[in-house]
Structure 1
Amino acid sequence: MPSIRGRRGGAAVSTTPPSRLNVPTERAVVDCGVYVDGVRERGRFTHQAAIRHVRETGRGFVWIGLHSPDPHQMEALSREFGLHELITEDATIGRQRPKLEAYDDSLVLNMSTVSYLEHESITEASDIVSTGEVMVVLGRDFVVTVRHGDFTGLAGIRAELESAPERLVHGPATVMHAVADRVVDSYLEVAEGMSRDVDELETAVFAPRSPVDIEQIYFLKRELLELKHDIAPLALPLRRLSVEHLDLIPAEIRHYFRDVHDHHTQVAAEVTTLDEQITSLVNAAVAIIGVQQNTDMRRISAWVAIAVVPTMIAGIYGMNFANMPELRFKYGYYLVLGFMVAACTALFLLFRKNRWL
């Protein structure tokens, strides 16, 4: 739709929708560096200058980090780096399932990110896990990391690798490994935090005479299922990276991916155990609630039985038939009241002895 121009106070006014305005790619760039022999080149580079420098010299690689790029920004970068259009689409849409895709001259690894939200008590928490996504696009002379969400676990990776040039010597695949390793480590941190929550909730459920909040148990169950769905699909991509002879993954880095895959297997098993534990906790809570309801019903039934005795006697004598000799008995009123009290007391003691009251 073309823009409409008018005049207000003698000045031209453009009504072009803000979504149509082209935001420079640099707005989405977190950092961009050129690395030669494991050492970062001095100076600041735009993404165009960085990839041009590497390809003209034939040495090193470019590492560029992006945060939530829009389609225009990603398309501009894809033209410079020669990325497939499907990579551009996935990088801008986000919320991709963890996967590994190979294109002609690039490799794309999608990973779900999770962060544990601290809280004082599981019974007061409204959210436990925050999710996001990281995409790593690997080429022969570049690596692009695209982050969606508030995951901050990648903040120190660049500084950590720059302090160890012997790792970056192996090329851009080192960055892909470092990002995958950090993401899997974050899975472990979240699993440990949720393990504490499960233990806290378990203690509360089995504490004597404590009210059972089954809604909070279902809430934790939902959070665990979400964590499980984010973690489990990454197993196959990591296995492929550690086993298959992919051209862009050197043998040295493939060994490190095997270690990441082992850690992922460990955390996946831990999350599965937590899921089974919370399922058992749901069953236990349902059983406890059932016992509490049965106890309440017995207590109510006992009081109803006690109340039936005076109600029945009062109902009989309240009929006021003329031929009821008890109505003319001098001490009948006191005798009936005494019988009511005695019967109710006997029933109360009987129910108390049987632990109904």
Structure 2
Amino acid sequence: MPSIPRMLQPGNRGSGRTPADPRTPPVPAARAVVDCGVYVGGVRQQNSNDFRRALRQVRESGEGFVWLGLHHPDERQMNNVAEAFGLHPLMVEDAVHAHQRPKLELYDDTVFLVLRTISYVDHDSLEVANDIVETGEIMVLAGSDFVITVRHGDHTHLAGVRQRLEHMTDQLGLGPAAVVHAVADRVVDSYLAVVSEMESDVDEIEERVFSAKHNDVDIDVVYLFKREVLELQRALNPLAVPLARLSGNKSAVDAAPIHFETQVSSNGKEIRRHFRDVADHLTQTIDLVAEYDERLTTLLNAAATKVSIQQNTDMRKISSWAAIAAVPTAIAGIYGMNFDHMPETHWAYSYPVLLLIMACICTVLWRTLRRNHWL
């Protein structure tokens, strides 16, 4: 297996930059900065939106790392960040344009992790719901002395993650790898929360499809949830391989695992244990989503079958009433031809007799069809 450069050790960084359009006035990168801090030994040292000064402090002292949080940066802002941290141009392009598939890439000694975020959309009724889940995106760029989180979307808040880690100095003392784990753990836990909230909706759809009280099944609702489950699968399934690589699982993936190493030799092993826990949670969530997908497929087939049966029942009723109506129509048509040689037309009792015959035939047909459950 080819050797992979280890993350979180000083090394070469790409220095290429995406060229900026000179016609566009420069926009300060600080406008996209949500938070920026220097952490030494798991303790926050300062607050500053000047990430260049924070990075310079870390590299001059040789201790700690910079955690920079960005929200929806544009191309110029991301280029300024890339110039300071030495990021590869392809990482800048992905971080700006977003809409990426969950993935894990290694650029020299910098890890680039893409995560899709999912939030549950509250709704009063299934009939009026247009979306069940909304998606966003978080990108994590981590090196030996920095970690950058780039958020796209309204449901990608990481303030709670930073605050929680700042109270866990032992965990944060493991370095940038601990931040990568905390973000991945937050995102995967949100997957499990969303899937749990969707369970009641899937149960309600199942009850409505198989309920005898609901003859008119709204297949559009089933299709809506089927679409949302596919959206979940696009966010969850591709993430399994990156987490397997981060957890050091050699048997689960074809690509070489990524090892986290810091000054303390046991830290890499500890981080891999944490990532294995996140991978287990992801596997649990994927299994639940796969179960929902199977149930919705079954419900879709059942709903289609129920609609088809209802249509057949309606057609049988229409055909039965048409057959009953055909009897008086045929008799009236025969005697409405006004031929001269029709003996019954000159009989005084022909009219009531024909009415009685039509009534008897229609009654017999109605009883026969009803007995055969056509009416």
Larger mean Cα displacement after TM superposition, 261-270 or 149-158: 149-158
Q: Does residue 1:263 correspond to 2:281, yes or no?
A: yes
Whole-angstrom distance in 1 between the partners of 2:208 and 2:258: 51
Deviations for 1:167-225, whole angstroms, at most 9, x for unmatched residues? 11111110000000011011111211222211111111111141101122112111111
Whole-angstrom distance in 1 between the partners of 2:181 and 2:104: 13
Whole-angstrom distance in 1 between the partners of 2:134 and 2:23: 27
The residue aligned with 2:357 is: 339
Question: Which residue, out of 93, 97, 103, partners 2:101?
Answer: 97
Q: Does residue 1:118 correspond to 2:122, yes or no?
A: yes
Contact 1:212/1:289 (<8 A) preserved: yes
Q: Does residue 1:21 correspond to 2:25, yes or no?
A: yes
Q: Does residue 1:70 correspond to 2:83, yes or no?
A: no
Whole-angstrom distance in 2 between the partners of 1:321 and 1:43: 108
TM-score of the two chains, using structure 1 as the length reference: 0.92
Contact 1:65/1:146 (<8 A) preserved: yes
Determine what percentage of the aligned residue pairs are the same residue: 54
The residue aligned with 2:340 is: 322
Deviations for 1:247-301, whole angstroms, at most 9, x for unmatched residues? 4572211110000011111111111111011001111111111110111011011
- SS in structure 2 at match of 1:76: helix
Q: Does residue 1:189 correspond to 2:189, yes or no?
A: no
Which structure's relative contact order is higher, taking Cα pairs within 8 Å and 6+ residues apart?
2
Whole-angstrom distance in 2 between the partners of 1:85 and 1:247: 24
Contact 1:139/1:248 (<8 A) preserved: no
Residue 332 of structure 1 deviates from its aligned partner by 0.5
The residue aligned with 1:206 is: 210
Question: Which residue, out of 280, 285, 291, partners 2:309?
Answer: 291
Name the count of aligned residue pairs: 341
Deviations for 1:10-54, whole angstroms, at most 9, x for unmatched residues? xxxxxxx99812211011111001111111113434111110111
The residue aligned with 2:15 is: none
Match runs of 1:172-251 below 5 Å: 172-210=176-214, 211-243=216-248, 244-247=257-260, 250-251=268-269
Whole-angstrom distance in 2 between the partners of 1:245 and 1:95: 24
Residue 150 of structure 1 deviates from its aligned partner by 1.4
Contact 1:138/1:248 (<8 A) preserved: no
- SS in structure 2 at match of 1:114: strand
Larger mean Cα displacement after TM superposition, 254-263 or 111-120: 111-120
Whole-angstrom distance in 1 between the partners of 2:47 and 2:146: 18
TM-score of the two chains, using structure 2 as the length reference: 0.88
Whole-angstrom distance in 1 between the partners of 2:322 and 2:88: 77
Whole-angstrom distance in 1 between the partners of 2:321 and 2:240: 60
- SS in structure 2 at match of 1:156: helix
The residue aligned with 2:329 is: 311
The residue aligned with 1:4 is: none
Task: Report the CA distance shift for 1:85/1:288 in structure 2 as closer, same or farther (over 3 A).
Answer: same
Larger mean Cα displacement after TM superposition, 41-50 or 237-246: 41-50
Contact 1:122/1:200 (<8 A) preserved: no
Question: Structure 1: which amino acid aligns with 2:152?
Answer: H
Contact 2:118/2:194 (<8 A) preserved: yes
Question: Which residue, out of 124, 129, 136, partners 2:133?
Answer: 129
Gaps of 5+ in 2: 1-20, 249-256, 263-267
Task: Report the CA distance shift for 1:18/1:348 in structure 2 as closer, same or farther (over 3 A).
Answer: farther
